[in-house]
Amino acid sequence: MAALVSGVFLYFFLVFLAPHTLCRTLIQKDHTNSTVETLFFDSLKNLQGHRKGDKVEGLYQVKQYLNHYGYLNTLEQNNDEFDDELESAIKTYQLNHNLDTTGIMDSSTLSKMMMPRCGVPDIINGTNTMYRGTNPFNASLYKILPGDRKWLETLLLYKYVKGFPTERIDSVDQALVIWSKKTQFQFFRLADNIVTQGPDISIGYFSGAHGDGFPFDGPGGVFAHAFGPADGRIHFDADEAWTDGASPNMIDIVSVAVHEIGHALGLGHTSVEDAIMYPYMHYDIIRRTLHQDDLDGIKALYGS
């Protein structure tokens, strides 16, 4: 936690929370091509029903997508062959997202891939943050980001990066409150004019490439990403159609903020679709209630 320094102006906003290392281990690849998602979505309509042994234009974009989220370790440039590696990656993807593990580009798999989602990978440096094997007793499926890094204090300072839209600040503050009510952590907002004291958590609003190696892709695709302790950055894609609430063809920024704060706390993605830490988000829905799966993850990382 950033030390509280005498004379520092704090914009007091009490919230219980504890950000953790997203993934600097995040996507340990430099995805500088912000058109990957657009090309991918354009190619999907031609891919339904294809399977191992096929060769069809557009499969390379699927491989890029799966590589981006950790399912494929290597890419052969412009390779449109449906090979063993792609089949295995698709099966793992289907398993993580509660789909039939056919290894085929079926309609349910394509539909899932087209949904907007968090930019944090599901598999980080070879560690699958979503799948915990057979679970006959319906135990929690939460995952902690690799490395188990955590905040050492329960009082954290946060600040909005210059340019963050003022009309969205209250919405993100709501997300901090949601975590504060269920955890042992507190947030204090640093006043904008404080330059001598760095925040634990910085919250930004960016378009395209923005200096962290993980450019946003415009409307659709990736809506946000975050970095866990002790980095603490949370970034929203400024080109998304944001709203506070449920609106047609728009994304609820509070729901997304609650998810990204979970990464800042140190949680990875889960396969529990009702949990905050599930990576995909439908348009026109609200998902703001912490699931027991989310709370079990925080308890496992930080204790009661």
Q: Which residues are annotated as catalytic?
A: 260
20 is in an annotated binding site: no
**φ/ψ bin of 7: left (φ > 0), alpha (ψ from -120 to 50), beta (otherwise):** left
| Residue 225 annotated as lining a ligand binding site | yes
Q: Identify the DSSP state of 224.
A: E
Instruction: For residue 86, count CB atoms less than 10 angstroms from its CB and return exposed for 0-12, middle for 13-18, buried for 19 or more.
Output: buried
What the block records as the tokens of 157 is: 């300072």
Say if residue 200 carries a ligand binding annotation.
yes
Residue with tokens 């290597």: 74
277 is in an annotated binding site: yes
- Determine whether the annotation assigns residue 235 to a binding site: yes
217 labeled binding residue: yes
Pairing of strands 155-160, 123-124: unpaired
3 state DSSP class of 68:
helix
84 marked among binding-site residues? no
Q: Was 269 annotated as part of a binding site?
A: yes
Cis peptide upstream of residue 230 (ω within 30 degrees of 0): yes
Residue 240 annotated as binding? yes
Cα separation of 259 and 228, whole Å? 12
Binding-site residues from annotation for Zn(2+)? 118, 210, 212, 225, 235, 259, 263, 269, 277
Annotated binding site: 118, 200, 210, 212, 217-218, 225, 235, 237, 240, 259, 263, 269, 277
Give the residue numbers of the binding site for Ca(2+): 200, 217-218, 237, 240
